[in-house]
Structure 1
Amino acid sequence: MKKNIYTIMAALALVAGAQQIAQAQAPQAKYVVMVTVDGFRPEFYLDSINYAMPTVRELMKNGVAAQGLNPVFPSVTYPDHTTMITGVTPAKHGIYYNTPFEPEGATGKWYWDYSLIKTATLWDAMHKAGKTTACVRWPVTYNAPIDYRIPEYWDYKNMGDARPYTAAATQPASLWKEVQDNATGLLEADDLNAANNELIQDENAARMAGYIIKKYKPNFLALHLACTDHYEHENGRDHYMVKASVAGADRAIKTLVESLNRAKIADSTLIIVLGDHGFENIYRSFNPNYLLKQAGLITDVKTGNWKAQFHSSGGSSFLMLKDSKDKATLNKVEAILAQQPDSVKKYYQVISKAQLTKIGADPNVPLALSGIDGTTLGNKSDVIFEKFAHVKGTHGFFPDHKQIQTGFVAFGPGLKKGAVIPVMNMVDIAPLIAKLTGVTMPAMDGKLYPELLQ
């Protein structure tokens, strides 16, 4: 009899152990809301004196955070947003810049279309797992397989009014009218812009996302808030409108939290707030194409009469060879850069092919430049430097710049309370979401941090 009792107890213990293992391995978040504050800097939530982000700090207090998040290279919006939802670098996912290199001169096109992404995304993984998805003004989602889709999209020939182009790209088509009827009111042209010291763009985007959460409860929703980036570009890091934008973004995030509560799904939702890049003050623009034109490597790009030209991406610029096998031209460009006087060289650093490969940048590029000492990179070929009348801001620099780090805060099922780690990388975001939701993604470049997980 005693033996039978021991046998039963042992069996029960095995069952209990199996249940604990199963629970530990089971997905812990049924829903995910991921919000990017474009131009998000760690001090926005680490410094409670100078920046008003009470909602984000409350999420951090009860969840997890990083003191810094390293972007990809170039540290600009579209490559970083695509890395967030793929877990791989631009070299693999194919969104190398915000704007593609156009050999005959830039027209204003961006990497809008989802079909340009070369690897699997969280949108794909969620659908394969039978989950629903949504996005509001998320980059590279034009024609994306997203159930409730309001993409970031505009006509580069008519920058002032994105409404007709966004409306035409919204899925389902009825959603555009639906969010105006129930969330924003009738939208005017400036209601989707960041201009005139207004924050209405972020406010409307958050209202749209909040409505979708309450009405449809998608398992994965991604929202892009862009006002902070706009005003950092206009005025540098420390302007009043930057601080106002940060406070506005926090209120937008509070709108989402309120919507989760109204939808009664807050307890099962993972909330991630992060940025795509930090920001640096800039005082001048350096145009390396001027050096190439002076050396006879650029005559007229519009007629195809060039051997090499640089493609600017904010604070960096990438060398494009007309003939990728033209070693003589590459050697000449390297010599030109090396021979510049210190008065020129002090404003840029050369990023080698080995560095580009290691960080996962555009694999077609033999070298790049990254601005230093408050210098951005331009595409002009008729002037070497342009000095700004007042301080501005930009990003795109090589991620060894401390100020280009962005931020990360997360709260929800499966995460510890109050854990803060020194640094993460942009490729680490998708693995965390996959882990906590149980969706399957192909091999990714990022890693998990056990110190963040329960």
Structure 2
Amino acid sequence: MTKKKLFVFCLDALCSMDIELMRTMPNFKFMFEQGSWVTHMHSIYPSVTYPCHCSIVTGNYVEKHGIPHNEIVKAGDQNAPWYNMRQDVQSKTLLDYAKENGFSTCSLSWPVSGGADYDLNMPMIVPIGYNGPNPEQFFESTATAELVERYFPRYGHHLIGEDRSLDRYTMGLATEIIKDYRQPDVMLVKMCDLDTVRHRYGVMNGHVIEQLHKHDAEFGVLVEQIRKHGDFENTDFVILGDHGQTDIDHVLNFNILLKQAGFISVDENDQLIDYDAYCHSVGMSAWISLKDPSDEKMKQKVHEFLLSVKADPKYGLGHVFTKEEVREQYKLTGPFEFVIEGEAAISFGNTLSGDDAFSETRVGDYKTAKASHGGLPYKEQQTTFIACGPSVKQGVVIDQANLVDMAPTMAAMLQFKMQDVDGIILDPLLK
């Protein structure tokens, strides 16, 4: 029996609204002409990049895979480190199963994959704010040494300087790997720039259309490499996203309200001195943590305060979940006691400075940018899942499915099964 291959092209913040345009593009269009797709793929809660990518490859919600946020949050820390290491993910991934089933595996710029036991691995791991001259240091012991030695001298310059670009770096490696390794059996390639452009300019505009055309061209280059150096006829191609985005009206700096209510104390420079309750932004939602989670009286006091803010229409707070409620409804666990979210399209800031709880959106912070995500999965633009190849039927369109369905469906394309997953196989798409 001929061995199947799988090539996954992940576009961060790909939205279902993009399908109409993608169907007209020179390289994406064959996926729609010959394949099938899910129009509205519901993300997880919170719909932020790192937890979403863990759900894509594990088929599980946060409760099982254990990555609840991009950042490892800590009260008062405005520059918290991000989750980076595969060992932090508590579920097996699609690539783990693939390797066990005899497939060669390759992961490029995938979040939370540092140190993963894949055949070829170059994780998304250079800190988002790093501007220094030595990004190679972050790949030591986290990436496959052979890839660093072979390709970093040629493409590492893309990670240095004001015009640094992880996508250019990723494309350089991906094109070379397909040729030099004759197309690894299961290959994940993750691109970031669509998400960046949407944060900066909004969900749909000329900049976004231009970026979609760039991704179309990139996809075309990689498909052509597979035609030349791989096994195109036996490859299932998948284009997928992790979450949508939503245009933001304004930012609610909830720590200002907590400070004014006496739950937070700061010094003359608005630096945290102490707290009973603290707000951590997750973009369009936020977590409220307690200094002492075992203090039931304080927990009740904070809960009553949150409900009072929700009752005041000027703040636009639409949801207050206890940790028990959000676990039951959305399979979300994390270092919090409550989760809050706006009724309309607002995002949350972490700042302790000043006395005004409201502020404008701003470029440079993904949580409070012009467009954002991280909210309830049904509220923002949905993402999508497009598949084409020898395992996939032609012309099937599923209106709605869930992000956790991606991994078991891709495993089924490769003819193995993932165990104990929250998602289901999308059988209507498959032959």
TM (norm. structure 2) is 0.89
- Asked if 1:70 is matched to 2:42, the reply is yes
Secondary structure at 1:255's aligned position in 2?
helix
Map 1:55-454 to 2 at 5 A.
55-155=27-127, 158-159=130-131, 163-169=135-141, 171-179=143-151, 185-188=154-157, 191-192=158-159, 201-216=166-181, 217-300=183-266, 305-340=274-309, 342-352=312-322, 353-382=324-353, 383-388=356-361, 392-401=370-379, 403-454=380-431
Residues 105, 225 of structure 1: alpha-carbon distance in 2 compared, 3 angstrom cutoff:
same
User: Deviation of residue 393 (structure 1)?
Assistant: 0.9
Contact 2:409 2:427 in 1 (8 A): no
Structure 1, unaligned runs of 5 or more: 1-25
* Offset of residue 44 of structure 1: 1.3
Deviations 1:139-171 (A, max 9, x none): 011111111111111146634657323543564
Retained in 2: the 8 A contact 1:206–1:253? no
Distance change (3 Å), C-alpha of 1:441 and 1:220? same
Determine which structure has the larger helix proportion and give its number: 1
Distance in structure 2 (CA, Å) of the matches to 1:47 and 1:55: 12
CA–CA distance in structure 2, aligned partners of residues 304 and 175 of structure 1:
45
Cα distance in 2, alignment partners of residues 303 and 384 from structure 1: 17
Residue of structure 2 in register with 1:16 after alignment: none
Instruction: Return the offset for 1:282.
Output: 1.3
How far apart are the structure 2 equivalents of 1:386 and 1:376? 10
2:68–2:334: 8 Å Cα contact kept in structure 1? no
- Are the equivalent residues in 1 in contact too, given 2:131–2:160 (CA < 8 A)? no
| Distance 1:161-1:385 versus aligned 2 partners, 3 A rule | farther
Q: Distance in 1 between matches of 2:134 and 2:115?
A: 16
Can you list the C-alpha shifts for 1:124-148, whole angstroms capped at 9, x where unaligned?
2122122211111110111111111
Which residue identity lines up with residue 30 of structure 1 in the other structure? K
Provide the C-alpha distance between the structure 2 equivalents of 1:193 and 1:44, rounded to a whole number of angstroms. Answer: 31
Letter in 2 for 1:59: M
CA shift digits 1:7-50 (9 cap, x unpaired): xxxxxxxxxxxxxxxxxxx8x862111121011011212246xx
Q: CA–CA distance in 2 between the matches of 1:318 and 1:261?
A: 47
CA distance in 1, matches of 2:399, 2:99: 33
Distance 1:321 1:106, change over 3 A: same
**Is contact 2:72–2:80 with CA below 8 Å preserved after alignment?**
no
- 1:374-402 CA distances to partner (integer Å, 9 max, x unpaired)? 3111112334111237981111111121x
RMSD of the TM alignment (CA)?
A: 2.6
Match of 2:366 in 1: none
User: What letter matches 2:12 in structure 1?
Assistant: D
Provide closer, same or farther for how the CA distance between residues 177 and 319 of structure 1 changes in structure 2, counting only shifts above 3 A: same
Amino acid across the alignment from 1:368 = V
- Offset of 1:53 from its aligned partner? 3.7
Q: What amino acid is aligned across from residue 76 of structure 1 in structure 2?
A: V
Q: Please state how far the C-alpha of 1:221 moved relative to its aligned partner.
A: 1.1
Mapped to 2, the partners of 1:315 and 1:231 lie a distance apart of: 18
In the alignment, the residues of structure 2 paired with residue 170 and residue 293 of structure 1 have an alpha-carbon distance, to the nearest angstrom, of 40
CA drift of 1:114 comes to 0.9
**CA gap 1:151/1:249 in 2 versus in 1, 3 angstroms:** same
Give the residue type in structure 2 aligned to 1:138: W
SS of structure 2 residue aligned to 1:112: coil
8 A Cα contact 2:107 2:118, kept in partner: yes
Q: Is the 8 A contact 1:100 1:110 kept in 2?
A: yes
Q: CA deviation at 1:442?
A: 2.1
Structure 1 contact 133–147 (Cα < 8 Å) conserved: yes
Where 1:380 maps in the other structure, the secondary structure is coil
Q: Pick which of 118-127 and 162-171 moved more.
A: 162-171
How many residue pairs align between the two structures?
Answer: 418
DSSP-derived class of the 1:305 partner:
strand
Q: Are the counterparts in 1 of residues 47 and 377 from structure 2 also a CA contact under 8 Å?
A: yes
Q: Secondary structure of 1:422's match? A: strand
Matches within 5 A, 1:27-42: 30-42=4-16
- Distance in 2 (alpha carbons) for counterparts of 1:349 and 1:157: 32
- The one-letter amino acid of 1:388's match is T
TM-score by length of 1: 0.84
CA contact (8 A) 1:45 1:57 kept: no
Q: Residues 53 and 102 from structure 1, CA distance in 2 versus in 1: closer, same or farther, beyond 3 angstroms?
A: farther
Question: How far apart are the structure 1 equivalents of 2:273 and 2:115?
Answer: 32
Shift of 1:369: 1.4
- SS of residue in 2 equivalent to 1:85: helix
Task: Find the residue that maps to 1:213 and give its secondary structure.
Answer: helix
The answer to whether the 8 Å contact 1:150/1:166 transfers is: no
One-letter amino acid of the structure 1 residue matched with residue 192 of structure 2? A
Offset at residue 192 of structure 1 (A): 3.6
